[in-house]
Amino acid sequence: MNALSNLSTQWQLYKVKNNTWTETGVTWSNKPTADNLLTTITAPAATGFVYFDISNELKNISPDKLLSLKLVNVTNNYTSISSRSATTASLRPVIEYYIDETGESSAIMAAKTDMNALKSRLQKTLAEMKTAEEVKLANETDIFPAKLVTPNGDGRNDTWLIKNIGNYKNNSVKVFSINGQLIYSKQGYDNSWGANYNGAPLTDGAYVYIIDKGDQKPLVRGVLNVIGNFK
């Protein structure tokens, strides 16, 4: 600002919505209309700088990434504004870009925020994948005793199958009658028992089993149904 009198000057800064004007094409006749008043300041009667904070306008800049401003001398005193081509370089207008208190620009902070959000989503995805893998592993290594044996010689369910029991070489399997009588006992069960006792087929009915996988984990208990004439 070049003070040409000893009077202070009041300036108003407006936002201009029309961004179609050009520096070389704008004239007094076709100058764009001022739209929103952003701020009003009073400049001292001295040559130097006046400052306007346009942070909010930059944060809400239009999609075309252009920001047009209009500066109006309200008091109409003899004061002029230097352009970027002014002979005196120190009087040329400038845009100052401040760094926030953390020492990082807002652009860098925004990028870091996006990266942190991405990192958080990635960690969540990895955790979900790990959980899914653990469930899959549990399904592959845990045991699943069949609830039914039909030793009728048709090739289906003729022996008692315990899925994944082969993964536990030190397993121990016991089967009892409802009255508590030990019917079958096997160390290292291999899915070969055909629901018999002392060489004879078991009576149809329900039996209780106890499985020790040999891994210091709780015993597996359940009910096994035997139907010899099942078709």
Report the CATH number at residue 191.
2.60.40
Is 215 part of a structural domain of the chain? Answer: yes
Which residue would you say has higher pLDDT here, 78 or 53? 53
pLDDT at 107 over 90: no
Do residues 43 and 78 touch, judged by C-beta distance below 8 A?
A: no
In terms of domains, do 25 and 109 share one? no
Asked whether the whole model's pTM tops 0.85, one would answer: no
pLDDT at 22 over 70: yes
Which residue would you say has higher pLDDT here, 177 or 43? 177
In terms of domains, do 127 and 167 share one? no
Is 188 part of a structural domain of the chain? Answer: yes
Is 168 part of a structural domain of the chain? Answer: yes
Distance CA 158, CA 192 (A): 9
Give the tens place of pLDDT for each residue, 56-68: 887 777 777 788 8
Number of domains observed in the structure of the chain: 3
Q: What integer pLDDT is reported at residue 134 of this predicted model? A: 55
pLDDT at 179 over 70: yes
Domain span holding position 64: 1-96
Q: What are phi and psi of 2, to 5 degrees?
A: -110, 110
In terms of domains, do 205 and 222 share one? yes
In terms of domains, do 18 and 56 share one? yes
In terms of domains, do 217 and 206 share one? yes
Distance CA 160, CA 158 (A): 7
Is 231 part of a structural domain of the chain? Answer: no
In terms of domains, do 132 and 157 share one? no
In terms of domains, do 129 and 162 share one? no
The percentage of the chain sitting over the pLDDT mark of 90, rounded to a whole number, equals 25
Burial state string for 191-221 with b = 16 or more CB within 10 A and e = fewer than 16: eebebeeeeeebeeeebbbebbbeeeeeebe
In terms of domains, do 171 and 115 share one? no
In terms of domains, do 1 and 91 share one? yes
Give the tens place of pLDDT for each residue, 111-122: 556 666 766 776
